[in-house]
Structure 1
């Protein structure tokens, strides 16, 4: 991509995917990921654990959205390593919290 379209590649590296052909916007990723995590969380009984598998960039953006944080915060999180995982825990209030990131 860098050789074919250096400008698009530079935008991609900055996380500006708004006009890249075929790319989802961060808001679209957040909506899709949040819907999936919400459905998974809603299907769990007391004490049960769920597992969602996704690509790192989608996970980073989606987790931020699921937790209700502003989407720009995702850019402040380090990219997930290969096979990295995120742990979310539900508090007694019902709210979700980030318990671990990039394990």
Structure 2
């Protein structure tokens, strides 16, 4: 599959995850978010940017439990909990946020 944004074509897998992580930018993130019916706010970007940093450090997209714990450490307990993350990404914080962040689908996600 492919998405076109600002005249540039982005290849995605059958579930809509970007195939080339280095092509990611905020414009493609906004299009991916629209496809997920997520209205990006500052809090959404905070999680997306956190995921990209995490991926750069560990070369893996974290599963939701790991994500929750890591966000709690970095951004505080009020953000490091499932309720907060599911409010931002109702179809699964790890799965949806990773897609918007241009990362592969997290291991362990169905």
Do both proteins adopt the same fold according to a TM-score greater than 0.5, normalized to the shorter chain? no
Larger radius of gyration: 1
Higher helix share: 2
Q: Which has the higher contact order (CA 8 A, sep 6+)?
A: 2
